[in-house]
Amino acid sequence: MTMRTLAYFIFSIGLLATTGCTDLFLKQPTPPPSPNNLSQKIVNNFEKRAMELETQGNYYQAAQEYLHLAANIHPPHRQTYQLRAVNAYLAGDMLMEAKAELSKIDTRQSFGLNIPLKLTHTRIALKEGRFSGAAAELSAINANALPTPLLVEYHQLNAQLFDRRGDSFAALNELIYVENLLKRDQLATQKNHQYIWQILSRQSTTQLRQIQQVQGDVLSGWVALALLTKSTSPRRLPMEVTNWQHNFPRHPANLDVANDLIVHGNQAQQTNLIALLLPTHNRYKAVAQAIQHGFSAALYEDDQQIPPQFVVVNTNKGNVIQAYQQAVSEGATVVVGPLEKDAVEVLLSQPNMLSVPTLTLNYVNHPVSVGNLYQFGLSAENEAREIALRAWDDGHRTSIMLVPESNLGKRVAEAFQTAWQALGGQMLAVEFYGNNKQSAVKKILKRGKNANMTFMMASPLHGRQLRPFFNYYYASNLPIYSTSHVYAGTPAPELDKEVEGVVFGDMPWVLSPNQQALKIQASLQQTLPELVEKFIRFFALGFDAYHLAGQMNSLGAGFQYSGQTGFLTLEPPNVIYRNLQWARFINGIPRLSDGRE
Within the chain, which residues score under 70 in pLDDT? Answer: 1-38, 214-216, 233-235, 265-271, 303-306, 317, 557-558, 594-597
CA distance 188 to 555: 24
User: Do the Cβ atoms of 502 and 584 come closer than 8 Å?
Assistant: yes
pLDDT at 23: 45
Strand 567-571, strand 560-562: pairing: antiparallel
pLDDT at 504: 97
Closest CA to 4 of 221, 207, 232, 220: 207
Cα Rg of the chain (Å, integer):
25
For residue 451, how many C-alpha atoms fall within 13 Å in the half-sphere facing its CB? 26
pLDDT at 3: 28
Distances (CA, A) of 462 to 400, 459, 570: 17, 5, 33
Number of residues written out for the chain = 597
Q: Fill in the DSSP letter of residue 81.
A: H
Closest CA to 24 of 195, 168, 262, 164: 195
3-class secondary-structure state, position 584: strand
Q: Is 1 exposed, middle or buried (0-12, 13-18, 19+ CB in 10 A)?
A: buried
CA distance 60 to 157: 22
CA distance 415 to 214: 42
CA distance 165 to 2: 10
pLDDT at 18: 35
pLDDT at 4: 30
The 10 Å Cβ neighbour count of residue 34 is: 12
For residue 455, how many C-alpha atoms fall within 13 Å in the half-sphere facing its CB? 38
CA distance 5 to 124: 30
pLDDT at 287: 95
| CATH superfamily label, 381-512+582-593 | Response regulator (3.40.50.2300)
Q: Which CATH number fits domain 270-378+517-554: 3.40.50.720, 3.20.20.70, 3.40.50.2300, 3.40.980.10?
A: 3.40.50.2300
Question: pTM score, two decimals?
Answer: 0.62
CATH 3.40.50.2300 residue spans of the chain: 270-378+517-554, 381-512+582-593
3-class secondary-structure state, position 441: helix
Distances (CA, A) of 446 to 311, 397, 474: 55, 18, 11
User: Do the Cβ atoms of 438 and 465 come closer than 8 Å?
Assistant: no
Q: Fill in the DSSP letter of residue 363.
A: -
The torsion angle over the Cα atoms of residues 440, 443, 449 and 454, rounded to 10 degrees, is -20
CA distance 208 to 230: 10
Could you check whether the bond before residue 338 is cis, i.e. omega within 30 degrees of 0?
yes
Q: Which CATH number fits domain 16-183: 1.10.3210.10, 2.60.40.1930, 1.25.40.10, 3.40.50.300?
A: 1.25.40.10
CATH 1.25.40.10 residue spans of the chain: 16-183
* pLDDT tens track for 461-474: 999 999 999 999 99
Element (H, E) at 528: none
pLDDT at 58: 85
Angle made by CA atoms 143, 147, 150, in degrees to the nearest 5:
70
Q: Fill in the DSSP letter of residue 478.
A: S
Element (H, E) at 252: none
